[in-house]
């Protein structure tokens, strides 16, 4: 199964946290994006942060 979720390739330099998008370029800084899997930062739950954001930042 292939993920269409991409992440800003320059997020470590440009942002405090990974910027997820479905586009080829970052909507925030315009850098190229790369496929978000395999996740470089949290292999246990690569989409946990994204999922929580969609749920409305709840605790």
Which residue, among 52, 21, 49, 26, has the nearest Cα to 36 in the 3D structure?
A: 21
Among 14, 18, 34, 37, contact with Zn ion (rule: CB under 5 A): 14
Q: Is 7 in the site for Zn ion (CB under 5 A)?
A: no
**CB of 29 closer than 8 Å to CB of 47:** no
Sites for Zn ion among residues 30-59 (CB under 5 A): 31
State the Cα–Cα distance between residues 10 and 46, nearest whole angstrom: 17
Give me 1's structure tokens.
Answer: 């199964």
Among 8, 20, 36, 46, contact with Zn ion (rule: CB under 5 A): 8
Least separation, in Å, of the C-beta of 11 and Zn ion? 5
Least separation, in Å, of the C-beta of 1 and Zn ion? 25
């Amino acid at each position: 199964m292939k993920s269409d979720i991409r992440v800003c390739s320059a997020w470590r330099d440009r942002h405090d946290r990974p910027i997820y998008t479905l586009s080829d370029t970052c909507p925030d800084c315009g850098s190229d994006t790369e496929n978000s899997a395999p996740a470089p930062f949290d292999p246990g739950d690569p989409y946990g942060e994204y999922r929580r954001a969609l749920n409305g930042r709840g605790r």
